[in-house]
Each structure stands twice: as C-alpha cells, then as structure tokens.
Amino acid sequence: MFDADTKATIPGWNARKLEQWERISSTQPGLQLVRHGEGLSTFTLVCSRDGFYDTVIIGQLPSIQMHRVREKADGGIVRALRPVVDRLKSPDKRTIDLSDVQIDAILAQWAKGKRAKTA
C-alpha cells in the first residue's frame, strides 16, 4: 500500500523504468521484464535461457510498513503504530531504484552466464 505522495509519483516512475527497459530490452537473448504490484510499479528484470535463470528487482516504490511501538505519554505507556524507516523495512516494502550503471553490471554478469548477485 502506498501513501498519497508515492501514488502521485507512479506515472513518472513507470515511465523512467520503462525507458531503462527499452534501452536494454534487445541487448541479449532471454531478457524479460515483469511488472507487478500497485500501479504495476515494481519492475523485475528476468534472464531466462537454456540452462540459466536469474531475476533482479530493478525498481520498487516504497510501501507503507507500520510497527507497534510503546511510548510514554503523560506518565503512562501508550501503544501506537508508527511507520518503519526504509532501511528497517522488509525487502518487499523497501525502495529499490537501480541505475543504468547497476543494470549494465547485471547484464554483463548474465552475458557471462553468471548470477547478478556476483556483480
């Protein structure tokens, strides 16, 4: 689930990520783009060819994740929900925005038949 500010960025975000895809889409066999999530705003790059399969999320907008906290208020303890900071969010809620350079490094690994994680 996105907050209102994040929802407003979806069209521009999607356009930018689609431009990245267009730049690389024909660079090697077996490349695919999978879009999912709210507003189709999560972009996963897939390399699938004989004997090799790997995926990398190249773009994901930040989703709201809340956690319960205990706070002191007027001498008592209050339980409340607060947003989780991005660095502490679960991976499916974090912001991911790979640059062209990072994507090119992944493609270079895939061209050698290696997993992107080694890039």
Domain layout of the chain by residue ranges: 4-63+91-118
Q: d(Cα 24, Cα 11) in Å, to the nearest integer?
A: 20
Q: What is the pLDDT along the chain (119 residues), one digit of tens a residue?
A: 788 888 999 999 999 999 999 999 999 999 999 999 889 999 999 999 999 999 999 999 887 766 677 777 676 776 666 666 777 777 777 789 999 999 999 999 999 999 998 75
Q: d(Cα 20, Cα 35) in Å, to the nearest integer?
A: 13
* pLDDT at site 23: 97
Q: d(Cα 75, Cα 71) in Å, to the nearest integer?
A: 10
99 DSSP 8-state letter: -
Cα angle, residue 98 at apex, residues 96 and 99 outer, rounded to 5°: 145
Instruction: Please state the pTM of the whole predicted model.
Output: 0.80
Place of tokens 């979806």: 10
